[in-house]
Structure formats: structure tokens, C-alpha cells
Structure 1
């Protein structure tokens, strides 16, 4: 039986009169799954409650940063303490230095950090910095990789752009788009051909080391190492967008997991314990080109916000302290959940691909292996919509898009995993019988 969402429907109706589309980020829209979005009221541990009073097991985790679950006491204590001292200074605070020190100590190859207010701002800054360091204009990105909504990175983007079927780059000038070259993920030949077509013009390659915005797609053997070698060969910088993978797939992110270091990397809300924050980080010889040390300008009034910095310090200190326990435990949970989903789909006669790495994974409604955007795009989105609605009706909160990830947290128990699998068996049966 469907849950009562009457209050959410009422609020959404009003929201559409004052907010474009009724939501402040397109990935929150439920239009592609055929229902109105749900509005949430509170969260604790592995659960969230909507404004109608319905409880859900949360497998979105605020799109990743709630790796310890909602309302972690250490993070909340740090935030409360800072709130008594001040919410925002618009000036330096010691916490931003301590957090930068901590990131440098655990992230491979990171020597300096510039705090910003979002992952989008971080990737935008990294691109500008790469262009400033190299004196080149063109960049290479990958079809289906999403790096935020700045102009040059919306070409062939995944995530909400793919979910909503929006044509590439409306509002982005042809001149801007022409400087963005698009390669095929997991295909080194496509990258080499772009370098060879524009010799001495490519400033950087930017990549999600594990894609999370066309669904979870892991790099094939040698792909990241090959990108490193191609960038070195052609004099370009390698930027790894670790907004999803950073501090989640390992303490040192994908760079630690795969043993490949970037010249620059970007992190998002996980470094602020869920607060709006991001950073661009990397080697000193590149980072030192940022103003005021260098001539590449970047600024932000709320960059290094003290509340977000204290939350981030608490989160990353806890991650570092508990890494030996946490990451193997998350992997165990991943094996149980995503392995169970494969079995449940098979028993229902539904053809899916379940891609998972560490504590993130995606169920693709396609019989074919998913290794890039072309194979991800073959997924049956109508089948996903049936699956999503069935999961929501049973109190399971997952992202309302075929091209997003399920996130696991330390707060998810074995009972929560079994509840997910039980709901999924019902959902797969509905897909099979549609």
C-alpha cells in the first residue's frame, strides 16, 4: 500500500509557484519516476522522516557525506561548540588550517588545500587553475561524468542532466563548449586521439576515478594509470574529482585505492560532515598559482566557514581513527547488500547489472555489463521507476534516478540490509509483472 504523502504534495504544489520546478536541485525532482518529490523533516542514524510522518531507511546519505549516519554525536558536539563562538567570520579561522593539515596528511599527493563552498566550485577552480598553470585552453572530460554545473563541465554530463533528459549545454556558449573535449570512460584510445587532435592545447583531463553520476562504474584495470601516463606524455594535468569517492571508498579515496596520484583533486561535502563545503587540493607547484600566492584568481566569502570546518575536522578525525574498522565493515555490508540484490533480481527473472565498489553501488536495469555511458544509457528507465516507487512505498529511500548510487553508512545494521533486500524482492517482482 502506498504511503500517505499528502502533506508533501501540498508543499510541492506551493513550491512550484516560488521555486523553479519546485526543487532547488534537479536531482531531487521525482518527475522521471512518475510521482511528486517527498519533503523531509528530520533524520537520525540510518533513518529519515518526511513531513507526513513516514519513516524511511536512508540509502542516499545526503548523496554520500553521512558515512557515519545522521546526527553523529562527535560531529554535532563540534558544531554546537562552534555555534556558541560564531557562525561565520568572513575571515581566517584556525579550524580551516587544521582541516587542511588533516587532508594533506591522509590524501595521497596532497600538499596544499584551498577551501571552497561546494564540489561544483572546487571543480570549477581546478579547471581554471589547470588552465592557468599550463597556459592552455582545452580540457578533456568523459561522457557521463558529472563535475558540477559550471559551464565547461556540463558538456556530456551525467547525473541530473542525464536523468531529466536535458539536451547538452543550453545556456552554455558554443565557444565555451568548444574548449571541452569528450572522451569515453574506460577507453584510453579515445583519450589519446583527443590529445593527438589538439597537440599542446589540452590543459587537463578531469575524471571521476570511480564514476558515480552515470551510476557506479569502476575504472577497468590500467585505465587510471593510463590517464596518468597520457597526461605526463602530453604535458597536461590530471584532475581526479573525488567528490563522491574521497574519504568514502578508502580514507585516502580512489587515489589510495588504485595507487594513482593526481596533480589536482577535488572533494565535496564529506569533508564538512554534510555541511556545504568543498576543496581543491594538490601539489604545491600547482596550488601555489592560486591568488594571493599566484595569479589565478579564486575567492569566496564563506570559504572556510568555521562551522563547516569544525564539522569536517570531527568527521575526518573519526574516519582516520576508525579506518581499520570502518572500511572493511562497509565492504562487508556492501557484499551482503549488492550480492543479495543480484540474487533477488535473478530469482524474480529481472535482468540487471549490479555495479558496486566499496560502500557505493547501482542496480542497472539492463542485461549488458555497464562500463561507460553508452552501456549505462541502455538501462530500462521505466523499469527503474517501478522499482523506485515500490521501494519508497516500503520505506526505503534511494536516489530517484537510474544514474545515481546507493550509499551505505556505518549506521546501517544487518537488519537494515535485510529490510532493503526484502523490499527489493517485492520491487523486482513488480518490475517482472508490469
Structure 2
């Protein structure tokens, strides 16, 4: 590398760093929360009065796609509304959050169809109970935890993710780590104490089987139903069986951080650090928003995934609170804030549609929800803003 080129690169790095530092220093969380309130207010006006909620807005469209309570993403919209109530104290948001949460009530009294009950019920009724202590919400949470536990296979040591699937055997996806919070909460708030043991066992089994030697996550593990033996690790939504699907690694970082919070077992904290380390080390984008898969073949022309950045930014804030190493704690907080600033400055939907964020990717191999707005990106973005606000 010649001297002139080195100077050019160094100058670009300095300018970029100064630009980010200026944005970071001027970043106002209240302004971003006001933005979220305005966007959600616009969304409320277009939701049909039929028990459905907004899931995603396709690239190039302004129109939301709506889903009923059975959809795995149905808890994110009411969860957003509860976060807006927490942020503002405005009873309008409590009323709307209650309305959309109650649409999900049937999930607590019907047979479990998959593992997503945590996403659906804990994000809605869980946030609602945390903020209001409404006993009806608590009842729904406890019933749903028992329902989710019916999918646990003690021979395997994990919760079945997809009962009706094409993969065969007992399947568990990394997303399932997120749903353990429902079980932990229930076990500590009047539910069966066995729910705690199920959650811990699922986390331990996942830790042993779901990761490659470099701590990158498979999306899906197939186990033998009877012996509990791991058969193979594959992907469903990533690029390949050997690639690091961005949102999958994000679920893992967030999930194991949460498990440490609930158990205080240091092995889960150590593991969360390992998962975060490989994610951050492999993250090459200047704005810290990843491509949808770290090993996708056409980078830098691959879609980004704002949802993964939102999940990780929120997770790193919590992980930093458990981190005694001052340098590591500082790194987590600095990078988390940079992710949030990037999402706020470059990924907001604004006048394009009424979601909070653009450029999330759902299921690229299936051609579904590519480079669009998705409610779970918005949910974790708002959660990250609130967590960052509490730090300040």
C-alpha cells in the first residue's frame, strides 16, 4: 500500500469517526421516541377493526400487511404500544395496548401449535402486566406458560419449535431462546416451579448443541425424538447450513443474556460474551447494521437486516450491565449506541411508510419480507431506545 493511499484511508477513517462522534453527541432519545409516537399514531389510523395487527410493509409500498392472533409476530405490535405507554404515560397508548393484547387471549387456552407463545404473549401481556399489574394479564401469562411447556421433550431437553414441519424429528430453532423468558417469569410469579427447570434445561441443551466451534449459531437443530441425540444442524432462513444468519445470532445473544439475568449462572454469561464477541468481530459494516447473513455470497449487494441490529443493540445494553470488565462494558455500550444512532439516522421509515424502520429482512431464501419494514425490528428498536434512556 503506497503512502498516498494510506493517507487517504486514514483521512476517511478520521472524517467518518468525527461524523459519527458528532451524531452520537447530538443524539436525542426523546426526539426518537416522539418520532415513534407519530409513526404509531399513523399506523393506528389504518388498522382494520377485525382483530388483526400490522406485521410488515413490503419494499416500495406504504401499505401494511395485517395478521391475526395466530401469527408468530402478533405480539410485537401490542408490545410496541405498551412501550409507547411506558415512554409517554399517555393513557391513549394503554387503551390501545390493552385492546390489541386481548386479541391474543385465545392463545392461552388452546393447544400449542409452535414455540412462539413467548413472542406473542410475553411481549404483549407481559409488558402490560409489568406496567399495570392487571391480574387478567397475569392469568393469561401463566396459562400460556403451561401451554408452551407441553412442547418440552425431556428425552431431548428442548422445547419443540415446529410440531408440523418438513424436517422430521424433534426440531429446535435458535429463536426459541427468546421464549424462555415466559417460562422463567411464570415460575417466579405463581406458576409451576418446573417451568424454571424446563427453561434452564432448554438453554443448556441449546448451548451444547446449537453452535459451531467458533460460537456461530445454526438456525435449526434436528434431534432424535426417542434418544435425544443430535442428528444435524441446518438453516431454514439463513444462506446455508454453515453460514451465520444475522438474526439467528442476534436471538442467541439476547437469549443467553436473558437466561443469565434469570438464573445468575455464570456459564450463561460467559456464553453470551462469546456469542457477542463473534458477532462484533465479524461485523464489517461501518454503520454496524449487518447484512441479512454474514456469509451471503453477494456482499456488499446483499440486503441488510435492521431487525438484527435492533435486537443486538438492545441485548448489548443489558449485557453491559452484567459486565465487570470496564473496557468490554465500554465497547458494548459504544457499539450499541452506534447501532441505535445508525438505525435512527439512516433506517427510519419517516414519510415512506408508517413503520419505525426500513431495511429489515425476514426470510430471504423463501423470498419473503426482503428489505422491508417488519414489526419485530420496530419492537426491539423501541426497546433499545428505552433501555438507553434508562441508562442515562
Same fold (TM over 0.5): no
Give TM-score scaled by structure 1 length.
0.26
| Larger proportion of helix | 2
| Larger proportion of strand | 1
Q: Which one scores higher on RCO, CA 8 angstroms, separation ≥ 6? A: 1
